[in-house]
Amino acid sequence: MPQLSPASGSMIFLSVTVIFFVLVIMIRSVTSPKMMVDKKENASQSFRFIS
């Protein structure tokens, strides 16, 4: 069955990509939670100012 190897390879690639994105998001949230909060507050304030 030659169709098994590419399917499993793509599954492994997909899982590795998902794990990588989760790690990046976790590291960003841990290193800069205050920056993220400030960005959200600034965005909401600018939206109120525009509206």
| Domain chopping of the chain, boundaries | 4-50
Residue indicated by tokens 């590419």: 6
Q: In 3-state terms, the chain is what percent helix, strand and coil (to 5)?
A: 90, 0, 10
pTM: 0.42
Largest pairwise CA distance in the chain:
62
Whether the per-residue pLDDT at 51 is higher than 60: the answer is no
Q: What is the DSSP letter of 2?
A: T
- pLDDT of 2-46, one tens digit each? 566 666 778 888 999 999 999 998 888 777 656 656 666 666 776
Question: What was the pLDDT predicted at 11?
Answer: 86
- DSSP per residue over 21-41, as a string? HHHHHHHHHHH-HHHHHHHHH
29 within 8 A of 36, measured Cβ to Cβ: yes
